[in-house]
Amino acid sequence: MKAATWRGTDEVAVERVPDPTLLNSHDVILKVRQTVTCGSDLHLLGGYIPFMRAGDVLGHEFIGEVVEAGPAVANHRVGDRVVVCSFIACGKCWFCTHEMYSCCDNGNPDPGITEAVWGQSPGGCYGYSHALGGFQGSHADYIRVPYADIGAFPVPDGVSDRRALFASDSAPTGWMGADLSEVGPGDCVAVWGAGAVGQMAARASVLLGADKVIVIDRYGYRLDQVERHIGAETINYEQTDVEAELRERTGGRGPDVCIEAVGMEAHTPGGQYFYDQVKQQLRLQTDRPDAVRQAIQVCRKGGRVFILGVFAGMVDKFPLGAVMNKGLTIRSAQQHGQRYIPRILELMERDELRTEHLATHVMPLDRAPEGYRMFKEKEDGCVRAVFEPAG
Amino acid sequence: MALPKMLTRAAGAAADAGGVVLRRLQNARIPGAGMPPVHDDARRAVARWRVVTVLVSPDQVGVADDVPRPLADFRDRIEIRVTPAPGDKGTELAARFRGPASDDDIGELRSALRRAKQLLEVGEVLRVDPVSHGRREPTPQGELLEEAATQAPKGGVL
Ligand SMILES: NC(=O)c1ccc[n+]([C@@H]2O[C@H](COP(=O)([O-])OP(=O)(O)OC[C@H]3O[C@@H](n4cnc5c(N)ncnc54)[C@H](O)[C@@H]3O)[C@@H](O)[C@H]2O)c1
Ligand SMILES: [Zn+2]
Ligand SMILES: [Zn+2]
């Protein structure tokens, strides 16, 4: 079959690879209908997660049609249209039964690397390096989906591929950020990053009843989307002093909830960016955490900070004093999608959650290298590049 | 030492096996960054109980003739202990070597405990191989990573 693979830092290729096969009784094989780039892939492309092997198939957000099902699969039949959570979870361990699916004990059968680096291993993820299980990704004609009864969800007829695709990762990730930060009426929420993840966190905050939701980024076209499709306010951090603006818009208190949806390659105007980049290049710190620092600094006393952006290792200049003295609660997680996807599909069916606008560039899989370049460089108003293997 | 640098440096020594890389990763901390001041010496490491918590009740975990299959392979080289876990967490399944054991033996025991847990919780062991991937030039760093990934089921802190 055809697949888009990681070939090295900033290098994506389209090549032929063997078809996947059923390996466990609870697997299904999907014919991929649509698969989309994610900010998380940029960390792989940038070489910041050094466990990719040339030839590994990329992609972890996808929708497809079941073409083969293992004997233990109960909920899916050949022909079903399903959307799949990007994180692989068993549904049976203590973490899964407590809805912390991305922490599943049985989703990554090769936990040696992650245990060594983080002390404990999270679950597995499609197309996300040999650290997270070495599973093949979705930028291909076909993909194997383990624990299919737990991770794959039938898409209601009324919901288009283009909309349901985002129920795989960015929508549940954003929803989790708002839900686990206990966003509700009376809250002012600030979100760093107007990519798909940040937009979904902002939309979830609106739907959960927050009084004010403000999204921060520097790309005008992304902030326009926030105003038009998400129903939230915006701040362009290249034109405005973010901290002063947030204080003014929140009665001097600071936001009750700060959600970071930027990740380890955060950009900063000014000297700190240079400092962070040099340290990252020298591997003195592995990650650039500037949006997290800002979120902690501006958050109201006793407020909640949620880190949705992906980080891999060490950060520098972490404002621990502000965390401690302001009594902040910090939470984070890889997405527990299995917990949120059913509700997200319902909201999509009721037209309360719309995601089509995120798919700014739709192209055949052959053009994946170009799609990744546009997504990375934020060219031509790109928010997400979607690939259609059959296109 | 930071991880990417470790890998790059390790790539220089292509003879280095993946297991060694994994073991080094475990101690790859920036000095002062969360490193405990004391590490198990080899004898202590062999004698230590290695434990997984399994979400089943203690009576579902065999201890005699019916020990979980992956652990049965060790026969009387290991001792097995089964105790209830606190709260709603299920059962603690522990094993340790009775006599001397190599690093490889310890790796096998880690892997066996993980597989035993999966068999008890989900009924089968999740497979990832063979995984399809594209064309690969055999670079030293790639080989090393491949080997580290192959060793990963036996690696880690368990
Ligand atoms: N927790 C999870 O399970 C999960 C799931 C999916 C994605 N992610 C992570 O979420 C992050 C965002 O993903 P995405 O797909 O939306 O990526 P993206 O690259 O499309 O968007 C990131 C946005 O952050 C903006 N940004 C950069 N520096 C900033 C700063 N200092 N302040 C404010 N905004 C800044 C960029 O301009 C960009 O618009 C990534 O780190 C990704 O890995 C996490
Ligand atoms: Zn993603
Ligand atoms: Zn699980």
The CATH number of whichever domain residue A287 belongs to comes to 3.40.50.720
pLDDT digits (tens, 9 = 90+) for A108-136: 988 988 998 899 999 999 999 999 999 99
Distance CA A356, CA B144 (A): 42
Please work out whether the CB of residue A335 comes within 6 Å of at least one atom of ligand 1: yes
Question: Kind of pairing, strands A81-84 and A61-69?
Answer: antiparallel
pLDDT at B11 (0 to 100): 41
On whether both A179 and A326 belong to a single domain, the answer is yes
Indicate the average pLDDT of chain A.
95
Say how many Å lie between the CA of residue B150 and the centre of ligand 1: 32
On whether both B142 and B120 belong to a single domain, the answer is no
On whether both B67 and B94 belong to a single domain, the answer is yes
DSSP bridge pairs for A14: A4
Banded pLDDT at A277 (limits 50, 70, 90): confident
Banded pLDDT at A276 (limits 50, 70, 90): confident
DSSP bridge pairs for A385: A361
Q: State whether B148 and A113 contact (CB < 8 Å).
A: yes
pLDDT at B27 (0 to 100): 58
Taking the CA of residue A334 as reference, the ligand 1 atom at the shortest distance is 3
On whether both A248 and A118 belong to a single domain, the answer is no
Question: Kind of pairing, strands A212-217 and A188-192?
Answer: parallel
pLDDT at A173 (0 to 100): 98
pLDDT at A282 (0 to 100): 66
Banded pLDDT at A23 (limits 50, 70, 90): very high
Q: Which of residues 153-192 of A touch B (CB under 8 A)?
A: none
On whether both B86 and B99 belong to a single domain, the answer is yes
On whether both A47 and A88 belong to a single domain, the answer is yes
On whether both A18 and A161 belong to a single domain, the answer is yes
pLDDT at A265 (0 to 100): 80
On whether both A223 and A312 belong to a single domain, the answer is yes
Contacts of B152 in chain A (CB under 8 A): 110-113, 130
Q: What is the mean pLDDT of each run of 10 residues along chain B (158 residues)?
A: 45 50 60 69 92 96 81 94 96 96 95 96 93 83 84 88
The domain tally of chain A equals 2
On whether both B68 and B135 belong to a single domain, the answer is no
On whether both B64 and B134 belong to a single domain, the answer is no
On whether both A153 and A188 belong to a single domain, the answer is no
pLDDT at B23 (0 to 100): 65
Distance CA B93, CA A26 (A): 25
pTM metric for this prediction: 0.93
CATH code at A120?
3.90.180.10
Number of Cβ pairs < 8 A linking chain A and chain B: 161
Residue with CA at minimum distance from ligand 1 atom 24: A193
Give the structural domain span for B154: 127-158
CATH code at B79?
3.30.70
Give the structural domain span for A135: 2-169+335-388
On whether both A321 and A374 belong to a single domain, the answer is no
On whether both B119 and B49 belong to a single domain, the answer is yes
- Specify the DSSP element, H or E, that contains B115: helix B103-122
Tell me what ipTM this predicted complex has: 0.91
Nearest to A93 by CA among A82, A84, A102, A80: A102
Domain end call among A299, A332, A365: A332
The domain tally of chain B equals 2
On whether both A45 and A141 belong to a single domain, the answer is yes
On whether both A86 and A227 belong to a single domain, the answer is no
The answer to the question of residue B25 being in a domain is: no
**Phi and psi at residue B80, to the nearest 5°:** -120, 140
Mutate to test the pocket of ligand 1, among A35, A40, A49 (most ligand atoms within 8 A of CB): A40
Neighbours of ion ligand 3 (CB under 5 A): A 89-90, 93, 96, 104, 106
The answer to the question of residue B15 being in a domain is: no
pLDDT digits (tens, 9 = 90+) for A36-75: 999 999 999 988 888 899 999 999 999 999 999 999 999 9
Contacts of A107 in chain B (CB under 8 A): 126
Residue B138, preceding peptide bond in cis (omega within 30° of 0): no
On whether both B106 and B132 belong to a single domain, the answer is no
pLDDT at B3 (0 to 100): 47
